[in-house]
A and B are shown apart, each in its own frame.
With several copies, the nearest count.
Chain A
Amino acid sequence: MYSDKVIDHFTNPRNVGEIENADGVGEKVSSSCGDRMKVFLKVEDGIIKDIKFQTYGCGAAIASSSMMSEMVVGKTLQEALDLTNDQVADALGGLPAPKLHCSNLAADALHEAIKNYQAAEA
């Protein structure tokens, strides 16, 4: 049912945790299944230096969270804002149709965290 990439990210999720005194924090709750993701960012010179997440949800939700986090470390905020949920799912080698909505958390939560950072900066 799940691709090897999904299984890998699910089994060994990257960047799980919390950043104390994070520069930005955001979260997203799936309206359809109640899955929830929380993102913590460390930003330096407009670049994402560190990212951690906490996720409550199924295998697809956890794997998408992990994959997203790996995709954006070292990226500029703009690049991170351009990342879409679909790109996360693609990077995982696709997700089964009934599980696609579970990957819709990751980019959204990231964007919330960036907005939170930008609001604090402004």
Chain B
Amino acid sequence: MKRIYMDNNATTAVRPEVMEAMLPFFREHFGNPSSVHWAGRETGAALEAAREKVARLINCDPAEIVFTSCGSEGDNLAIKGVADARRDRGNHIITTEVEHPAVLAACKFLEKQGFEVTYLPVDEQGMLDVDALEAAITDKTILISVMWANNETGTLFPIEQIGAVARKHKICFHTDAVQAIGRVPVDVEKAQLDLLAISGHKIGAPKGVGALYVRKGVRLTPLIHGGHQERNRRAGTHNLPGIVGLGTACEMASADLQNTADRLRRLRDRLEQGLLAAIPESQVNGHPSQRLPNTLNISFNYIEGEAVLLFLDMQGIAASSGSACMSDSFGQSHVIDAMGVDPMMANSAIRFGLGYDNSEADVDQVLEILPGIVKKLRDMSPFYHERGAAKLTANS
């Protein structure tokens, strides 16, 4: 059975070139870059080379990159770090209802510490209203944190417009770009960002490494105090292999961003149109056009998402329902919920996250298999059998 991996928004395999770049740093060049001897000298240069590659992908100065262990750490460092450093200037934070748990939970924690947080709603396409955001600003607002691309639906927020608003009001602006990076062009200057979090394992680098862009002059309290690594913004011995891998992955993403995006968009659209055509009463969740090129979130009414995933899995197809890290918790996705999707429709939402190595054959395989799965589950579903009756009742 051919395995088809379409859960690249959850995590990606390490790209072969990334693996190759990392390998020498585990056993051969393993020194601590802070050391004076050969083992350290070898790695110091690699550390800074990786920093430059990450900086190039988002158009910042290498000194503005802080290496972290993951996207969640970056989000927490940005949000708690700025909140603590600016506490004397105000206690109000603006974010959205559809952020990743790393942002939402950091904000909930700050609420317990006396901060006030505005969670902006989204419309039925998952889109944010920039005017509403501007209207939420008070003279106590110290931070705006809005994700670049939503992990569940792929909806892209108008980051440049938000950046202009933030700059106009002189408010620090953080974006969680974990899903955006390597998939759409990201430029911290154009977007007038102050902070931006990325994670290696979403773009073919390994798990265990990420980065936070911190604009020069933006002060933030570290999460992890200790040694002087990362200009005192993040202590701990550098994860050299991971950092080298992140550098290589960023370099590769820079090199063919547009090509990959175009190719994945074609595949995604093929999948989307094929499924909508083959399966009645299905719908796409998220914005029709302002969307990551690789992401499709689609619902098939009357059935439950996990059951669909299991049947797909049995045929070797890996997809997900909602955010992977939420799949061990109950209830519906807070993202689909916030869009006001009907609960039964929401419960059947499946996310496909295409990756650079997916092919047209992969898409066709899904198109061949999935309609049958939906049919089988609908045949089993009491709601499906009652739908005629319900409609009759509604019409009578």
Contact = CB atoms under 8 A, between A and B. Distances in A.
A and B touch in the complex (CB under 8 A): yes
Interface string B317-355: 000000000001111000000000001100100000000
B372 interface: no
A71 interface: no
A56 B302 contact: yes
Contacts of B329: 98
A98 B231 CA distance: 13
Interface residues of B, number: 24
A55 interface: yes
A38 B385 CA distance: 11
B382 A1 contact: no
B255 to A, nearest CB: 31
Interface string A41-82: 000000000000011111101100000000000000000000
Contacts of A58: 304, 306-307, 310
B383 A62 contact: no
A111 interface: no
Mostly, the B contact residues are: helix
Interface string B272-311: 0000000000000000000000000000001110110011
B41 interface: yes
A21 interface: no
17 contacts: A1-B41, A10-B310, A18-B385, A33-B330, A34-B343, A36-B382, A37-B382, A55-B381, A55-B382, A56-B302, A56-B304, A56-B383, A58-B307, A58-B310, A59-B306, A61-B304, A62-B307
Interface of B: 36, 41, 44, 302-304, 306-307, 310-311, 314, 328-331, 343-344, 347, 379-383, 385
Interface of A: 1-2, 7, 10-11, 13, 16, 18, 27, 32-38, 54-59, 61-62, 98
